[in-house]
Amino acid sequence: MMKTIDKYLSRLENVLAGGCLIAATALAVFAVLLRNITGDVLFWSEEAVIYLIIFSTFFGAVVTLRHNEHVAVDIMPALLKGKAKKFFVVLGGLATLVYAGFIAYLSWALITEPFSRTTITPALKLPLWVVELSLAVSMTLFFIRAVEMTIRALRTPATELDKDVLAEEAAAVGIDVDDLAIVDDGSDRANRVEGANGGDRLGDGGTDEKGGDR
């Protein structure tokens, strides 16, 4: 059941975020080509591109949440393991639920305000609630995605939540964790031993390279 929800929710998120961004890019390119080829100007294109990017940004935030790539302070979950770590993961999911639900509620309430229906955008002549719909819909999807992730965390065994923090940090900068391993080959060890022995000999009462007493 949850896999099916995740599947269709992911498709919806990708279509909305990607579709708005593609539409903004296509419209911007078309407007530039039209102006340079025919001299005609789509006076409403700039405003439309801005609104499409706004929509894409909000929908993209849901995609980012799906991949758990939002900025977060995760010191405690990184240091803990087992049930203690699962507790903080679930707690973070619940906090996200509260935040997303509150913002979604305010966003839908904002659309019902009189000024949202009476205010018209300058170029497209759209009512303001159409633009505000980007926040309402995206935060609703954000809330649904947070519910799915919290349920998934509750169902996931605590042992599967344990991750190698060093491996994650290495992957974040594009390197392999194995590259961070310190290789102690025989030649390095021999050099250190020889250096140590040489240092001991300096304290003996022998002669130095110039033949003088040390």
Q: CB–CB of 137/104 below 8 Å?
A: no
Interatomic CA distance for residues 148 and 1, integer angstroms: 11
Q: CB–CB of 214/205 below 8 Å?
A: yes
Q: CB–CB of 44/126 below 8 Å?
A: no
DSSP E strand boundaries for the chain: none
Confidence of residue 89 (pLDDT cuts 50, 70, 90): confident
- Give the SS3 label for residue 120: strand
Quote the pLDDT of residue 126. Answer: 92
Quote the pLDDT of residue 52. Answer: 95
Asked whether the predicted pLDDT for residue 55 surpasses 90, the reply is yes
Residue 52: name the closest of 29, 13, 22 by CA.
Answer: 22
Confidence of residue 4 (pLDDT cuts 50, 70, 90): confident
Average pLDDT over residues 190-200: 52
Confidence of residue 85 (pLDDT cuts 50, 70, 90): confident
Query: pLDDT of 165-193, one tens digit each?
Result: 555 556 666 676 566 655 444 555 445 54
- The predicted model scores a pTM of 0.70
Query: What is residue 181's DSSP assignment?
Result: S
Quote the pLDDT of residue 136. Answer: 95
Interatomic CA distance for residues 96 and 146, integer angstroms: 6
Give CA separation, 25 vs 18, 31, 42, 99, 123, in Å. Answer: 11, 10, 15, 31, 19
Confidence of residue 39 (pLDDT cuts 50, 70, 90): confident
Please calculate the CA angle 150-162-159 and round it to the nearest 5 degrees: 80
